[in-house]
Copies of this chain bind each other. A is one copy, B any other.
Amino acid sequence: MLVLVIEHDEDRADAFFHALSDRTRRDILRRVLAGEHSVTALAASYDMSFAAVQKHVAVLERAGLLTKRRVGREQLASGDVDAVRSVASMLSELEEVWRGRIDRIEELIQEG
């Protein structure tokens, strides 16, 4: 059971980091964290097709970094700061693993 939960977390981490690995997507995320934007408004900012930008938005949405809400014929995208924080917490866990090594070294120095 625990393994399944861990698997799920790894899937989430895969989606998070993959979504963040493209600079256009990071830029879109910055914009939608700053405020709501329609997909068309976002697309206007980049030198690529509307479809390409729409796909980037979909990747961010699937990763949970962004949510959309329908307003009339527009789809307003908004960044999810909690998702950003949970990515940050994954990195703190990595840092704690490192701190474990330091603690162990200091332990050895104490014993030595």
Q: Quick check: B98 and A34 within 8 Å, CB to CB?
A: yes
Could you tell me the distance between the alpha carbons of A91 and B88 in the complex, rounded to whole angstroms? Answer: 6
**Identical chains in the assembly:** 2
What is the chain B residue whose CB lies nearest that of A93? B30
Q: A-side binding surface: helix, strand, loop or mixed?
A: helix
The range of chain A's interface size is 20 to 34
- Are the CB atoms of A21 and B30 closer together than 8 Å? no
Contact B95 A84 (CB under 8 A): yes
Which A residues from 81 to 98 make CB contacts under 8 A with B? 81, 84-85, 87-88, 91-92, 94-95, 97-98
Instruction: State the A residues within 8 Å of B (CB).
Output: 10, 13-14, 17-18, 20-23, 26, 29-30, 33-35, 79, 81, 84-85, 87-88, 91-92, 94-95, 97-98, 100-101, 104
